[in-house]
């Protein structure tokens, strides 16, 4: 499998090539179709797996890489639904010890999914717009 693009610059996954046409898949929709070989050119240096992943919204890809387990995902969903929440509220409400909570929050902050804020004068955390978009997309 290879990454190719058409004359408009749209990228596809090349599935099969014959003498006059090629079967390609649109990574955004998964739709397959035949395109004339003269309308396609190879994209050197781009992994077909990266092209396939590009069909998933960027916010969802970020969430997938940042949430190592269901508890972390649940924490982000709670921040989207209930946030902002203070660190004290998070520790009190959920079954996370302080080091686990801050470890997950640090990963989410590094991924741009959570930002530090003040809640009732205390340190707290809130979901970013990127996190809100990602959670909305996976709930569909």
Q: What is the DSSP string of 25-45?
A: E-TTT--EEEEEGGG-EE-TT
* Predicted TM-score (pTM) above 0.95: no
Per the rule left: phi > 0, alpha: psi between -120 and 50, beta: everything else, 116 is beta
Mark whether 50 and 63 lie in a shared domain. Answer: no
Reading the chain (140 residues) residue by residue, the pLDDT tens digits are 899 999 999 999 999 999 999 999 999 999 999 999 999 999 999 999 999 999 999 999 999 999 999 999 999 999 999 989 999 999 999 988 999 999 999 999 999 999 999 999 999 999 999 999 999 999 98
Q: What CATH number is associated with residue 30?
A: 2.30.30
CB 24 within 8 A of CB 35: yes
Q: Which position has the token pair 């090629």?
A: 22
Residues 50 and 65 in one domain: no
* DSSP-derived 3-state class of residue 134: helix
């Amino acid at each position: 499998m290879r990454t190719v693009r058409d004359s408009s610059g749209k990228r596809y996954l090349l599935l099969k090539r014959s003498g006059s046409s090629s079967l390609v898949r649109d990574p955004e929709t998964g739709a397959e179709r035949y395109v004339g070989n003269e309308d396609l050119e190879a994209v050197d240096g781009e992994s077909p797996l990266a092209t396939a992943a590009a069909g998933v919204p960027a916010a969802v890809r970020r969430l997938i890489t940042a949430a190592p387990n269901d508890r972390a995902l649940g924490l982000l969903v709670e921040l989207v639904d209930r946030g902002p929440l203070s660190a004290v509220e998070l520790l009190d409400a959920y079954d996370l010890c302080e080091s686990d909570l801050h470890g997950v929050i640090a990963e989410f902050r590094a991924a741009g999914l959570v930002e530090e804020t003040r809640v009732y004068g205390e340190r707290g955390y809130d979901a970013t717009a990127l996190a809100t978009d990602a959670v909305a997309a996976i709930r569909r």
